Amino acid sequence: MLWVDKYRPVKLDDLSYHDTISQRLSSLASNPESMPHLFFYGPAGAGKKTRITALLGSLYGPGASRLKLDKRTFTTPTKRTVELNMITSNYHIEISPGDAGLNDRFVIQDVIKEMASNKNVGASATSSERKSGAATFKTVVLVEVDRLSRQAQAALRRTMEKYASTCRLILVCNNQSKVIEPVRSRCLGIRVAAPTEDEICKVLKSVSINESFMLPDELAINIARESSRNVRRAILMLEACYVQKRGALTKDQPVQKTDWELYINQLAVEITREQTPQRLMAAREKLYELLVNCIPANVIIKTLAKELMKNLDDSLKREVIEWAAFYEHRISLGSKEIFHLEAFVAKFMAVYKKYLNDLFA
């Protein structure tokens, strides 16, 4: 088991940072019948899913951690079938409806309607799983809500009002600005900010103590900085360093990056070195490779822009960032991500080529 899963806190009392959020969640768990729909938002790796898992455990007891993976097939009104994977227990269901594409609206309505139709929350739970004073409603966890279409979000607003008595929704996203205001206003918003570098160092130290090896302070600080305040990524980096050195960690040990980050770094170097149609075609192949390996398009464009910034003149940085933001917005509106990624690369080539021509004119 990976360390990021092995040492994930499962109780609200075990959470090591954001004490205010933990206290608020404990208050909600102590009086579940008054709990509203919840809306967790914050950057990736900040601990949103960990806090939701701990909250579900407080609401329903150990039965909430007995999970299974289900593959469901949904039929749209036009007789098209959509297959989605979901994680379920006797008390809740977790699903990413954005994976259904343009059919996400029908998936949301079917899932919530099915969950709300079974009012007896513990009908399939054993006596050992039941928790005294547990919530009597079921919970639907919708992850990546910011990927939902506007039509799906509008349908979600109506559905969450209709079945509020027998079903609670927990919405999760990284960017709350992509969720419509009517949906946000019907939920209790909980912002999970990225932890500080000191808090990440404490988590890494805790993992090293549990694994019985010595973690130098300098290496812990370096990992915390390289992780971009992402706890999940920091723990994975620590495990990679441990495997690389077979447990004998040193303070000057380099932090190993992921293959896809090195791939994007290589792409940034190539399009900075040469701006030709042939190089643009080669860049398209690399972008396709990243998308095929399930790297999100918005992550690709952010990482690529960050890598390009390292070798650019200050006069160019503002313009490149503006175009990166422009095409990131286009990605959220369009359906073919490769078009907008390639358009950003082409625009950067044009801007950088013009800069070089003016410089040596």
Helix, strand, coil shares, percent, the chain, to 5:
60, 10, 30
What's residue 132's pLDDT? 54
Which two structure tokens, joined as six digits, stand for 128? Answer: 């050992």
Q: What is this structure's pTM?
A: 0.83
Give pLDDT tens digits along the chain (361 positions): 889 988 898 888 888 888 899 999 999 988 888 889 999 999 988 999 999 999 999 999 888 888 898 888 877 777 778 888 888 898 998 988 877 777 777 787 788 777 777 655 544 455 455 555 567 888 999 998 888 888 888 888 888 888 887 889 999 998 888 899 999 999 999 999 999 999 999 999 999 999 988 999 999 999 999 998 999 999 999 998 998 887 788 888 888 888 899 999 999 999 999 999 999 999 999 999 999 998 989 899 999 999 999 888 888 999 999 999 999 988 877 778 999 999 999 999 999 999 999 888 6
Question: Cα dihedral sign for 286, 287, 293, 296?
Answer: positive
- Residue of 264, 61, 51 lying closest to 141 (CA atoms): 51
What's residue 56's pLDDT? 93
- Residue of 311, 330, 315, 321 lying closest to 348 (CA atoms): 321
What's residue 2's pLDDT? 87
Q: How many CB atoms are located within 10 Å of the residue 276 CB?
A: 11
- The helix/strand/coil state of 81 is strand
